Amino acid sequence: ALRLQVDWSNGGAVTFSTRGEGTLAGFGKDLTTGWMVYSELFARESSGFVNGSARIAFFSTPKWDNRIYAYERDLLYGFSIPALYGKGFRCYLNMHFQIFKWMDIWLKGSMWHYLDRESTGEGPTKMEGPSSVEIKGEVRFRF
């Protein structure tokens, strides 16, 4: 695998990252290549009331052996490392609001869209159509 990443920050309030990654799998005539490119923006409001991140990733990994993993920010104490496999894109928006000193809200919305299949998932999680959406939230009260 080969990875190239460029990060830019204005001193803390805004950070922008772009990453490209490529993989090789197999030998000889069975050699396959895969790639992924993403851009991510992380922003924090100066008073700390709100911060969030957004990412869009494009990928083309023809075989499971070419899959690429990419760490994602998530709700409080959580993270996600999805396997990017197939051809398509993934995007997410992750927000944190500190409503009061004693109350925080986290929200995350994410979407997969595949260009090479007509359904997503397997077994009981199988969904018809090339896209799937997930929305989740968390509220914390401090006493």
Residue ranges of the domains in the chain?
2-141
pLDDT score for 14: 95
Q: Which two tokens stand for residue 20?
A: 């490209």
Write down the pTM of the prediction: 0.87
The pLDDT of residue 121: 79
Of the two residues 101 and 120, the one the predictor is more confident about is 101
For the cut 90, the answer to whether the pLDDT of residue 12 exceeds it is no
Q: Residue 122: pLDDT above 90? A: no
Report pLDDT digits (tens) over 65-107. Answer: 999 999 999 999 999 999 999 999 999 999 999 999 999 999 9
Query: Of the candidates 131, 84, 137, which has an alpha carbon nearest to the alpha carbon of residue 111?
Result: 131
Q: How confident is the model at residue 1 (pLDDT cuts 50, 70, 90)?
A: confident
| Token pair for 84 | 């990017």
